Structure 1
Amino acid sequence: MNLRIKITQQRFHHLAVVLTLLFGGYAFTACQDKVDESNMYTFTGKLMSGYLETDENLSDFLYLVKRVKLSDASESKVYDLLSARGNFTCFAPTNEAVENYLDSLYNTTGYDITLTPDSTAEFIVNNCLIDHENSPALMSTEFMEGTIERQSFAGRFVTINFDTIAGGRTAVYIDKYSRITASDIEVENGVLHKVNKVVAPTTSSLSSLIEATENLQVFSNLLKVTGYAETLNASFRDMDYERNHPETGLGCPTETGETPVPTPAHRDTGFTAFVESDSVFEQAFGIVLEKENGQIINWEEVFPIIEQKCEEFYPDAKSDDYRSDENAVHQFVGYHLTNRSVAWNYLLIHYNEQGYGYRIPENLAIDVWCYYPTLTQDRILKLMEGKQIQGKRINRYVSERNWKNFAEVTVPREGILIHNDGDNAALNGYFYTIDDILVYDDDVPNKVLNERMRYDICDLLPEQMSSGYRRITAGSAAKGMNIPAGYHSTMHASSESRVVFLPAFGYSWANYQGDEYNIVGQYDVTIELPHVPYFGTYEFRIGMQNVADRRGMCQLYFGTNPKNLEAIGQPLDMRIYGENPQIEWEEDSRDDEDYNTEIEKRMRIHGYMKAPRYFGTGSSTATTDNFRNNNRVFRRIAYTGTFDPHKTYYLRMKSVLENTSTQLFIDYFEWCPKSVYNGVDEEDDW
């Protein structure tokens, strides 16, 4: 018998068993209020609930686990869930940890645990438990600095930190303050680690958390002056979605047939802020801050200096209204903010770039990048990381590379270093400190971003990134996730469209960054595209992976009015292979580069390009192949024309086939400026 339990959450505490896969086939059960006792284990080994019963030092936690309900309407408790099949990681607070937390919270000594309000009990229990669904629970040997992939029962991401304690020993901390004192207690349905403090993530908004951080007072004041503090106070969780979304939906027919697959448990929005510390401002701007009780008391003296610097950075911003996007201070602050809540180890995605192995993530390979929109003037941040880069950096400029291996040769602009200092995870986002003043100067659009820009489809979807579904380990068959109508604010599908997200991280798929969207039915999909960095001519390209018996054919539409887009070109046929006369693909010659150039020119006449060398099949040890000699994988030049950086463009993809089981495949897009595809030097094949 194989039971799969999926936990969802409403108002941080709404937990429900939603998907049961029964022996011999699949059977879906709707959201339940009671755990089915027929699904309980009958092992001789202990379950997590059984272990808690036997450990006297966890009796307070056990008491709370037995009290906390799966949902407001549930008859079952979290204890019942921990008595069922599953893969749970538990960071269980000791009795002393629970007692200290309650005493501190209620400002007393010897607080009576039986008086604990339900909300407090839920907070303690739900923040220390993670359901890994089909993936194994976490042993300490699998801990990595950063964020754990799955959210806690409370719908929050849990972070792992390492530090050295007395005797030179390495200590593991959960959310920075809860130290693991006993690890790797294996039970039949998971792994338990004891911690010396209750796992208690902040409930502050991002602007409030920045305000409470003593060395970020300049930026906190700038947030208030410009009105961005109110923006960063926004609620992060769509409670209407929490209450009303379907727990499952149909998957991709070729992967799961008509078997239900999960939907996202949450629809979150949020923000990430890249913030200079007070000392960076003091050094760069020549100001001297005077503080009392952590607050700046000479703000009226230092703000005019900061304002003058901002006006020098953005001389065309003439408004005196600090809340206007035409104001220099407003533009300065807005360029530090993006409308995606992104944890540290998701800021840049490593998967199948050349030389990288996803089972040894500490061994970085060639550069990876991600472009982030900001909250001002449609401006873009570029983040980079790789083995030649010391850390994660913003707006790094590489003017010369070795095109044999993509190695950096000349780097005129190192980029601003990003720090992960801890205590930076707010309810609705994250902040990261940076080591220099972040400005959108002329070199950013003209050099840093004057390049072929490749976006994974997930880069375009802020709700998916904020909800933690950017890079998730695939299930055993990569069965995917059904995306309900209205989930995305930047991708809209007709009611006849079945939208499925397929993650493949941890498996050897050929997708850029290990994921794709498959859309079936009589689909009609419109995607809001990111802005370009400067006015000019660009090629807009679509990454393709054709399959004769699965893919479909669609008409492309393009423009700035999503309700009235113009058709571009002939329908895009995703069933044909490279040898087709419509493409004229051939394998590269090993020793005749001139002939390879002719192949590329021939393909470009038909509006196609070979796949880039940059990525290949995902590998646990090191990606070494690429798809230039794969006759199913290439790029389609969908549109060539003038782009305005201050206009929003849309792509519509509408099926032209009657067969509703064929797929629309979406993996990645490219924007390539004319200076690259028709420049002095030939465009590289990476």
Structure 2
Amino acid sequence: MKNSKNLFSTLAVAVSVIAGGFLQISCLDEQHPGSYYTFEGETVASFLENREDLFSDFIYCLKESGVWGEMRTYGEHTCFAPTNEAMKTFLSEKGISSVTQLTKEECDTIAKTHLCNATFFCKDLQDGAFPYPNLLDRYLTYSTDSAINENGAFEVVYKVNTLSSIIERDDTVTNGVVHIVDRVVVPSNRFLPDRMEEDPLITIFNAALALTQMNDSLIAYMDPTYVSPAYDSLLICFKQTGRTAIRYSTGYETENGTFPDKRYFKFTAFVEPDSIFIANGINNLEELRKKAEEWYANGHDEYYDDPTDRRNSLNKFVSYHLLPMELSYNQLTTSQDYIKTNFVTWDAIDIEDWYETMMPHSVMRISYPKSGDRFINRKGAPKAARGIEFKGVRIWSPAERTDFDQTALNGQYHLLDEILLYTDEVRQNNLNTRMRVMCNTMSPDFINSGARGRFRATESDRYTTGFKKGFCKNVEYSDETQLWVRYRDQSFSCFLGDEMTIRGIYDVTFRLPPVPNDGTYEIRMFECTLAGSAYSDRGVVQIYFKEGDGEFQPCGIPVDLTLDGNNPKVGWIADSELSGESEILANEKAMRNRGYMKAMDSYTGSGSGNLRERSDCLRKILTNDYMYANKDYYIRIRLVLDNPTAVCPFNVIEIVPKSVYLGEIPEDRH
């Protein structure tokens, strides 16, 4: 059912100068919660109260925790309501008989675990993490299973954190939605390696994790040195539903920028079950050590006796399975239905992301092909023109494991259907391809903060995430730089929806992910307004490139970000205005001589036609350099002309081997 609600809106606007840049500031006065809405139906609270025989124990926890008032009035909430029977089972497992025997802190944990400040309907969800955290700032997971009901028919079972089934779903109330669950949701409070140690399916990998002491690298959780910016001291006073934010404009869009309250360290592990090792003749840890020596040292590992050495073959094997950010199944790549079904040309590309792993100087490619599965280091059919298809290693979906919750306090792990390797063969075959690196994967902090992948549900949900200088791994920037990761936009013409905005009198340096092989690479930068915007807030930038601790070298002359593709300095001509393939190729060559390329044709974004058909969507060629797989490389973007309101939108970096951009077979346009 649907219920109406009337919102009030009171907005005052001010202008302030922050960090050398002008930002538009807005204030929304806080009022008593009861004045926010006029209700015409049940709230979360009254829904539970009207069924007190089912939820009296959970109601007790909500009241003890102090969140009951919110459930009666304002906001948008998802409530996973455990029944009294579920609470009884939970209490019995704790060895107590009554909910009144719980401490106030325990009631607070139960209440806030089961509440999210956003509305989620089952029909809109995919296997993986919920889009927003619960009130404890933890991401619950969602999965589906099948079962035979009492009538002998198959039915879909919806689960929260694997073990709690939703027995009645999508009960709409005026301030959100209620899902009834048959078991209290109890997320693990153990660190990732401790949670993995409890899993009986992965004993061989766990033994290797302990022997290499890589488990010690997975126990960080919160940065004690991080302090969220003091908004009041920055003259920032925009408030909405308890949040404080900078309010600014990018082009024609106005957004609300917030900073994370905490800085988290989180992790993801990809793990072979014992059954996979055994199927490959590996029955114990010692046999895995011997195989790792074959895979990574050709049978002669001079560091064999010290598995903790990062050059040790087993250490390489284990650490390649680890990422320094938490990725649920639906966060491994872009997975929002709206984007993948409306904007992506599935027959042309796999949706994919590239991640640096915890093995020094290594990179992992995670693909999401049209089949719907997720793969590591797959080289799919769209790239088959450059060589045979390589399947890669398939990642189990949450629906394939229904008896164990694989999430931990500081991360989660996924099971694999084959042994995952980063050998010379994998690097030269599977990964010898164009690397299209999304900007929002370039730092673990973009992901662990929840900034990357946020999907704007409504026009009012325009929260971007800012990052403090010194607390953003792989990125360095000046005091006058403001760095913001935008929500994933369903209509803007950013490839796959991700975007970062760099603001102010900016000077920012990004460490690039490692390349898989030594060789010559072409580095490009794409953004739908990077080199094609009439907006006056774009500026002129100098871009630099460097290797390791060397000196930055300029990549040609400064780039004017306001140039449209139709400008003679760019030379873009629509394919439809050219007579056949020969003229299209000639135009592409002329653009390359000027340092530009047309955009990819595999994505549409807003408006009609794909990005290649738009003159304001361009790829800028930054440099062609020889790069080594065991070295670090950096890109620096510096504003040349001082303008405190300047903006540099940033979407994608492409790192392309010479065998692709100058190979016998022309590079595809996807």
Aligned to 1:53: 49
- Cα distance in 2 for partners of 1:394, 1:184 equals 34
Distance 1:189 1:562, change over 3 A: farther
CA contact (8 A) 1:478 1:502 kept: no
* Residue of structure 2 aligned with 1:206, choices 192, 211, 235: 192
Identical positions, percent: 28
Give runs of aligned pairs for residues 424-443 of structure 1, distance below 5 A.
424-443=406-425
Say if 1:306 and 1:286 are closer, same or farther in 2 by CA, change over 3 A: closer
Q: Is the 8 A contact 1:88 1:190 kept in 2?
A: yes
Over residues 106-145 of structure 1, what are the superposed CA-to-partner deviations in whole Å (9 max), with x where a residue is unaligned? x23x23x22312221122111111112xxxx223333433
Q: Residue 271 of structure 1: CA displacement?
A: 1.4
Matched, 1:483 2:466: yes
Which residue pairs with 1:570 in the alignment? 557
Shift of 1:560: 3.2
On the 8 A contact 1:65/1:79 being kept in 2, the answer is yes
Cα distance in 2 between the residues matched to 1:527 and 1:395 = 24
Residue in 2 that maps onto 1:280: 276
Change (3 A) 1:615 1:44: closer
2:557 match: secondary structure: strand
The aligned residue for residue 234 of structure 2 is none
Per-residue Cα deviation, 1:136-155 (whole angstroms, up to 9, x for no partner): x2233334332211111111
The one-letter code matched in structure 2 to 1:87 is E
Counterpart CA distance in 2 for 1:338 and 1:158 is 20
Whether 1:583 aligns to 2:566 is no
Q: Which amino acid aligns with 1:635?
A: R
Cα displacement (A) at 1:355:
7.3
Match of 1:226 among 212, 215, 223: 212
Is 2:141 the counterpart of 1:154? no
Pick one of 311, 320, 323 that aligns with 2:308. 323
Verify: 1:625 aligned to 2:622, yes or no: no
Give CA-to-partner distance per residue, 1:307-355, whole Å, 9 cap, x none: 2111111116421211001111111111111112100011121469997
| 1:190-589 matched pairs, under 5 angstroms | 190-235=176-221, 237-241=222-226, 246=231, 248-254=244-250, 260-287=256-283, 302-315=284-297, 317-319=301-303, 320-350=305-335, 356-357=341-342, 366-387=349-370, 389=371, 391-398=373-380, 401=382, 411-420=388-397, 421=401, 423-474=405-456, 475-476=458-459, 479-486=462-469, 487-505=471-489, 507-544=490-527, 545=529, 546-549=532-535, 550-560=537-547, 564-589=551-576
Answering whether residue 149 of structure 2 is matched by residue 166 of structure 1, we say yes
**Equivalents in 1 of 2:406, 2:669: separation in Å?**
39
Distance 1:552 1:384 in 2: 35
Q: Distance in 2 between matches of 1:430 and 1:655?
A: 40
Say whether the 8 Å CA contact 2:126–2:330 is kept in structure 1.
no
Given residue 415 of structure 1, which amino acid in structure 2 is its aligned partner? Answer: G
Shift of 1:245: 6.3
| Match among 116, 129, 153 for residue 102 of structure 2 | 116
- Cα separation, 2, equivalents of 1:174 and 1:159: 6
| Cα deviation, residue 219, structure 1 | 0.5
Q: Tell me if 1:96 matches 2:85.
A: yes
Distance, in Å, in 2 between the alignment partners of 1:21 and 1:263 is 24
Task: Quote the residue 1:63 is aligned against.
Answer: 60
Distance in 2, matches of 1:395 and 1:386, equals: 12
Tell me, yes or no, if the aligned pair for 1:558 and 1:652 is still in contact at 8 Å: yes
Distance across 2 between alignment mates of 1:661 and 1:369: 33
Moved more, 631-640 or 547-556: 547-556
Q: Are residues 354 and 514 of structure 1, via their aligned partners in 2, closer, same or farther at CA, if it must alter by over 3 Å?
A: closer
For 2:522, what is the secondary structure of its paired residue? strand
Instruction: Find the aligned partners of 2:619 and 2:477 in 1 and give their Cα distance.
Output: 23
1:597 positional shift:
0.6
Q: Which residue of 2 aligns with 1:682?
A: 666
Distance 1:306 1:413, change over 3 A: same
CA-based RMSD of the aligned residues comes to 3.0
Asked whether the equivalents of residues 91 and 128 of structure 1 are also in contact (C-alpha less than 8 Å), the reply is yes
Task: Mark the runs of 5 or more structure 2 residues left unpaired by the alignment.
Answer: 14-24, 232-242
Partner Cα separation in structure 1 for residue 564 and residue 504 of structure 2: 22
Counterpart of 1:643 in structure 2 is 627
- SS at the partner of 1:598? helix
1: CA distance between counterparts of 2:386 and 2:363?
24
For the residue of structure 1 that corresponds to 2:423, the secondary structure is coil
**Rounded Cα–Cα distance in structure 1 between residues aligned with 2:230 and 2:280:** 49
Q: Provide the rounded CA distance (Å) in 1 between the counterparts of 2:651 and 2:101.
A: 53
Q: 1:350 to 1:257 in 2, by over 3 A?
A: closer
Distance 1:90 1:350, change over 3 A: closer
1:201 partner amino acid: P
> Which moved further from structure 2: 422-431 or 407-416?
407-416
Displacement of 1:543 = 0.4
Q: Which amino acid aligns with 1:376?
A: M
Give, in whole Å, the separation in 1 of the partners of 2:46 and 2:157. Answer: 27
Q: Which amino acid aligns with 2:318?
A: V
Deviation per CA, 1:540-587: give whole Å up to 9, x if none: 100032212232111112213579523321111110111222211111
Alignment correspondent of 2:114: 128
Partner of 2:236 in structure 1?
none
Alignment CA distance shift 1:153-1:499 (3 Å): same
* Change over 3 Å in CA distance of 1:143–1:384 after alignment to 2: closer
The answer to whether residue 174 in structure 2 is matched with residue 188 in structure 1 is yes
**Superposition deviation, residue 669 in structure 1:** 0.4
Q: 5+ residue gaps in structure 1?
A: 5-19, 69-76, 288-301
1:428 aligned partner, one-letter code: N
Residue 593, structure 1, aligned to residue 581, structure 2: yes
Equivalent residue pairs, number: 625
Change (3 A) 1:349 1:257: closer
Q: CA separation in 2, counterparts of 1:265 and 1:408?
A: 48
Whole-Å separation in 1 of the counterparts to 2:552 and 2:337: 35
Take 2:336 and 2:660, find their aligned partners in 1: how far apart are those partners? 26
CA distance in 2, matches of 1:680, 1:393: 28
C-alpha displacement of 1:675: 1.2
Quick one: structure 1 residues 562 and 627, their matched pair in 2 at CA, closer, same or farther if it must change by over 3 Å? farther
Give me the whole-angstrom Cα distance separating, in 1, the residues matched to 2:265 and 2:347: 30
Rounded Cα–Cα distance in structure 2 between residues aligned with 1:343 and 1:635 = 31
Alpha carbons 1:537, 1:643 under 8 Å: kept: yes
Equivalent residues of 1:180, 1:194 under 8 A apart: yes
Query: Deviations along 1:87-118, whole A, 9 cap, x unmatched?
Result: 1010011122223212212x23x23x223122
Match of 1:291 in 2: none
Q: CA deviation at 1:671?
A: 0.5
Alignment partner of 1:543: what SS? strand
For the residues of structure 2 that align with 1:563 and 1:80, how far apart are their CA atoms?
A: 59
TM (norm. structure 1) is 0.84
